[in-house]
Structure 1
């Protein structure tokens, strides 16, 4: 009997026009990085926000690592803070009033403050950002802020990592450098990840699978050759 995939999501999100849903998909996955591509308005960010618990679908079901996070028929909806799903937005959303290490420590679950700081510094070291630990988030460059955002996401002990165009504002050399770093960190932690991107080079560098969305539906799902 085949085992259940680590992530299984059957989602329907209503659109502004009758008969044209924002999202109507069956999405399943296990490990590795899945790249999500498609034109603007295709439903890519909608899929991520549903998985993260920031948007409640009209109907469907989401199960992650054997735990049901959403089931419209059973009236189950786990809030974002209970899902252990890390989401890195294009805008990064670091807290401007906190230092870098405090930003990373904020997401560390179930620890004393001293232990959260230790975990935060460890992840900053792994993302080559330890020297930034005591800076304010507002004093960071785009690349520095992205390293901190990745450290904060992984420090939260997630079961799934969602990345919404995390490298779009960076120049080519930095995209390549941070992409390589992220690939190594995800491989070491064996975490499944979904990467929204418009850049085919990001797919080639990071992903083992490519899913294409158009008008809220999956139009392509294939493996990516290394």
Structure 2
């Protein structure tokens, strides 16, 4: 009869090509979903930049010569490990003895390391998701070693990039003791305590030496082979 159901054995069996097409179709749908999900997560990561983290408390772990014979240059890599900002912009050391070390038992002795990030990289100021930043910030973070040990200071994510982009400072090529030897040739008292900066001068990487209470002040080029002129020595540690 016309309305009698078709016995199961007589129902048409889908061809292999139909099954394959169904699998391909489902695979395409799943792939498109995963792709859109990946794009969404990527866009979220772009629109929500890395933000500054609270610094860890100070520590004396890993500081050779603690507390009275600390070489600030020997701590550079330790300082790097405490900040996400990779570009070295300068080092300032106060209370440097003629052997190139500082005595951190003194209230006035310390060393500070200044770091920045490439434009738009590293921790950025908070912003609403999807909002394009008005400018590329380079930020700035200092790491300081003092009487309590070594620690990162609060990150400054809002610091803009300098108008004139310069190469980061290379690894220091001179010891502070070598800079002191030059100062002694100029009459510096080896019992004094100096302020030494490693910075980018107009001429390039340089060291500035100052002996408080005296007129001894000079800057040496990064290889410590020559003393810079006043014009060549212009620059500072940010």
Q: TM class by shorter-chain length?
A: under 0.3
Q: Greater CA radius of gyration, 1 or 2?
A: 2
Higher relative CO (CA 8 A, sep ≥ 6), structure 1 or 2? 1
Higher strand share: 1
With normalisation by structure 1, the TM-score equals: 0.22
The structure with the greater share of residues assigned to helix is: 1
